Structures are given as C-alpha cells and as structure tokens.
C-alpha cells in the first residue's frame, strides 16, 4: 500500500505540519503524564481508524516501557482494570472530544467534571490540545491513506 500523496514530503504540507508539531510539543512538554498522553493518542487513533498513528503511538509507548497488557486493552478500557481513575477520565474526555459529531451535546458535563477532578488546569489545557492535535494528525493520515507498520520509535524526533 502506498500513500495517495507524499504529504510529509510536500513543501506546503511542511508549513502546515510545523504548526501542528508545535502544538503537539506544547502538550508533550506539559505535566500531563506521558503514559496518559500515549493512551489518549492510541485511543483517538483507533476511533479514527488511523493505522499509522496507532502503530506509531503503540510502538512509542512500548519503547517508553508501557505494559503490553495495557496497550492491548485500550480499545476496551472501560472493562479493563489496568487503568487509573485519571487515565479513565482522560480516555473518556478523549473519546467524547473525538466523537463530537456523534454526541448530541458534545462533551458531557460529567466527563468534564471527572477529568477536572484528576487534572489541574494546565493539564486540562494540555489534554484538550492533545486531543485536538492527534485528531488533526489522524485526519491527514486517513485522508492520504498513510500506510502503517514501518514506524520506528523516535523516528520523528
């Protein structure tokens, strides 16, 4: 399988990606726990059907020492006992923030209140930004049909 377009090699795309990458760095450099960040990226990528990002963030999580069991259960996190209450709150917010069009009211007050119990305002800003950024990356990769499987941990710095 080949990508429909060499998006990552295109000069105009490079200008757009520079800004998305900058927004991603703000979230990744925040105090939002790195494990939570990877779980959110994986779950949002699963929802959006982005094989490239699912592959990337699963491999990055493994390289960072994440347990395989937790990675295998991300898609069924509600029934799994391996996540903290904070991670569950982040995953719920990520799902609702990704499925805005599917939900009549967007993100529920309950999901927001639960996330706010576990994360301070800076972490909430990072989490919201992370959800937005991974959704943007997913859309680029899904539209261009970016193939998955060849990513090496840390490949993009």
Q: From residue 157, how far is each of 1, 60, 103, 152, 153 by CA, in Å?
A: 25, 11, 36, 11, 9
Classify residue 136: in a domain, yes or no: yes
Domain that residue 116 falls in:
34-144
Asked if residue 157 belongs to a domain, the reply is no
* Average model confidence (pLDDT) across the chain: 94
Predicted TM-score (pTM) of this structure: 0.93
Burial of 13 (0-12, 13-18, 19+ CB in 10 A): middle
CA torsion angle 58 63 68 70 (round to 10) = -70
Count H helices, E strands: the chain?
7, 0
Separation CA 105–CA 51 (nearest Å): 28
Q: Is the pLDDT of residue 128 over 90?
A: yes
**Number of separate domains in the chain:** 1
The pLDDT tens digits of the residues spanning 41-86 come to 999 999 999 999 999 999 999 999 999 999 999 999 999 999 999 9
Q: Which of 22-31, 99-108, 137-146 has the lowest mean pLDDT?
A: 99-108
Report the CATH number that the domain containing residue 76 is assigned in CATH. Answer: 1.20.1290.10
Would 11 be classed as within a structural domain?
no
For residue 19, is it within any domain? no
Residue 130's closest CA among 13, 55, 32, 58? 32
Q: Determine, yes or no, domain membership for 1.
A: no
**Domain contains 154:** no
Has residue 10 been placed in a domain? no
């Amino acid at each position: 399988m080949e990508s429909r377009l060499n998006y990552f090699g295109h000069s105009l795309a490079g200008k757009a990606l520079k800004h998305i990458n900058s927004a991603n760095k703000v979230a990744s450099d925040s105090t939002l726990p790195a494990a939570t960040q990877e779980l959110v990226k994986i779950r949002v990528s699963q929802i959006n059907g982005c094989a490239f990002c699912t592959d990337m963030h699963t491999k990055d999580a493994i390289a960072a020492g994440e347990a395989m069991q937790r990675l295998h259960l991300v898609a069924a996190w509600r029934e799994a006992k391996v996540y903290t209450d904070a991670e569950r709150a982040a995953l719920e917010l990520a799902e609702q923030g990704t499925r805005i069009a599917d939900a009549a009211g967007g993100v529920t007050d309950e999901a927001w209140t639960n996330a706010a119990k576990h994360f301070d305002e800076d972490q909430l800003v990072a989490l919201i930004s992370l959800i937005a950024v991974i959704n943007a990356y997913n859309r680029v990769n899904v539209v261009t049909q970016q193939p998955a499987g060849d990513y090496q941990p840390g490949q993009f710095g």
